């Protein structure tokens, strides 16, 4: 394990001390769990894909409405209701 020194505000440190007393875990363990949660959150492929929203311009005005048809060859729910 690597040893790391960090600086915390008084409020952050008080919070970690409280959580440590309540949970019985060390402050180091609490920080490691928080880092693991942050890593898992950022490793989610869908989160990376969501960054692409709005990054490209469509060549059709109805892509947001007919996306199911374009992606899967099926009409969207709205189109099925209009049939």
Residue-wise pLDDT tens digits, 41-61: 777 667 677 777 778 888 888
Q: State whether 46 and 64 are in the same domain.
A: no
Domain residues for the domain of 39 are: 8-51
Distance CA 14, CA 4 (A): 19
pTM exceeding the 0.75 threshold for the entire prediction: no
| Residues 62-76 pLDDT 10s | 888 888 888 888 765
Say how many domains are in the chain.
Answer: 2
pLDDT of amino acid 68:
84
Answer whether residue 83 shows pLDDT above 70: no
Instruction: Report the chain's terminal Cα–Cα distance, integer Å.
Output: 62
Q: State whether 21 and 47 are in the same domain.
A: yes
Q: pLDDT-derived band of residue 15, with 50, 70 and 90 as boundaries?
A: very high
Tokens matching residue 4: 């790391």
Q: State whether 46 and 13 are in the same domain.
A: yes
């Amino acid at each position: 394990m690597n040893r790391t020194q960090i600086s915390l505000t008084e409020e952050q440190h008080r919070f970690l001390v409280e959580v440590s007393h309540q949970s019985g875990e060390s402050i180091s363990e609490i920080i490691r769990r928080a880092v693991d949660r942050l890593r898992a959150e950022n490793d989610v492929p869908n989160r990376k894909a969501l960054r692409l929203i709005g990054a490209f311009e469509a060549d059709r005005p109805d892509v947001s409405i007919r996306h199911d048809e374009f992606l899967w060859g099926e009409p969207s729910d709205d189109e099925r209701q209009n049939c």
